[in-house]
Chain A
């Protein structure tokens, strides 16, 4: 896919008059937008069919906001990312939608506090969790990201608690989805999350190879 984005950026670059370095920046922007668009669209299409679209949007929003500062584990290719992200968003959104009916306000508050606390502790210890493609080596930059991630998480926790107290059970499934997304993001920062993600990545890679060889191994 990267070649396709570079070719497209090259085409635009020749029309507008961009240097090769600027074309790379434009291609990077395309790749970022495409990866988010692909995962979100897949999750939303399935979410609309299953009636969990709003929960999925909340999961994506909380996840993306915290992840911008805290980092986290990654898949190695765009397609594996799309599959895993979609799967996680569907599971979290579906869980929030199905389970919240059985819980009252107190349980939702406890869930928000528990997931928030887990996310805060993990963020304090391991954030920002970088990856080989994008290393954060400067200590001041790491500290800056960690502090921002903690502030954002505290803000999200306070917002969710206030929303829960003020609105009662009206939007419980959305609040539950946001709490789960916060907990999940915390998990992807931790070493266990990295190990799980590596395992999923390898599993998907194995399935991809088996499929492309004619499917004889599947």
Chain B
């Protein structure tokens, strides 16, 4: 059970990281809100 939870959480982290990368690579937020981009993803 603990292993399954870990797998699920790892998958979730992967998806969220992918979304973060895609959002940070775009010109701005996809709708009318732009959250503050984390320093690690900032590229000027």
Residue numbers of A with Cβ under 8 A of B are 2, 12, 15-16, 18, 21-22, 24-33, 35-36, 39, 60, 63-64, 67-75, 77-78, 80-82, 84-85, 88, 127-131, 133-138, 141, 145, 149, 188, 197
Contact = CB atoms under 8 A, between A and B. Distances in A.
Interface in B11-32: 12-13, 15-20, 23-24, 26-32
Contacts of A70: 27
Contacts of B13: 12, 16, 18, 26
A21 B37 CA distance: 12
Contacts of A141: 43
B37 to A, nearest CB: 5
Interface residues on B, range: 20 to 34
A27 B17 CA distance: 9
A16 B13 CA distance: 9
Contacts, number: 135
B16 A131 contact: no
B41 A25 contact: yes
A137 B44 contact: yes
B6 interface: yes
B23 A32 contact: yes
B16 A33 contact: yes
B35 A2 contact: yes
9 contacts: A16-B6, A21-B39, A26-B20, A32-B30, A35-B35, A67-B28, A68-B30, A75-B33, A133-B34
